[in-house]
């Protein structure tokens, strides 16, 4: 059963990759994809993960014909195919976003709170009253 599962995963990956990412022999797949355009099936052919579900369904019958085992095999084959596809891509390097300077933070994402005298609270931290309280 393990060998059948591995073969089903590899076959699913090959067919899904052909349909979603390649032009096919003689540009046959490219022509079909262009013909389908933005229809539901055309959009399906652009999504590797979505397409792997549909390609894996009949190949899961190769692994098992019992309904519950077929359902689990179907999802497992599609999941394994998605993992294989991710392993084959270039790694994504996440770099930290540059931190804005204090001046860039003024008036950006939060509203300014105002004191009763309508002076913005964000600018009151250097007010003479606060400096006097700090010096005590």
* Domain residue extents for the chain: 2-88, 109-135
First-to-last C-alpha distance (Å) of the chain: 79
* CA 5/CA 63 separation, integer angstroms: 6
Residue 116 DSSP class: T
Specify the higher pLDDT residue, 66 or 93: 66
Confidence of residue 97 (pLDDT cuts 50, 70, 90): confident
Please check the confidence at residue 12 and state whether its pLDDT lies above 90. Answer: yes
Q: What integer pLDDT is reported at residue 42 of this predicted model?
A: 85
Contact 24, 18 (CB under 8 A): yes
The residue-averaged pLDDT of 21-27 equals: 90
* CA 84/CA 9 separation, integer angstroms: 9
The residue-averaged pLDDT of 67-88 equals: 94
Q: What integer pLDDT is reported at residue 89 of this predicted model?
A: 80
């Amino acid at each position: 059963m393990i060998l059948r599962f591995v073969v089903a995963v590899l076959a699913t990956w090959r067919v899904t990759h052909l349909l979603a990412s390649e032009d096919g022999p003689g540009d046959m797949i490219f022509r079909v994809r262009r013909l389908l355009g933005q229809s539901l099936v055309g959009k399906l052919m652009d999504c590797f993960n979505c397409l792997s579900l549909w390609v894996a369904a009949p190949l899961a019958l190769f692994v098992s014909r019992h309904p519950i085992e077929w359902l689990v095999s179907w999802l497992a084959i599609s999941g394994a195919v998605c993992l294989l596809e991710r392993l084959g891509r270039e790694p994504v390097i996440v770099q930290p976003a540059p931190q804005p300077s204090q001046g860039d933070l003024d008036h950006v994402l939060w509203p300014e709170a105002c004191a009763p005298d309508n002076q913005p609270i964000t600018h009151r931290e250097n007010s003479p009253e606060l400096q006097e309280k700090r010096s005590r």
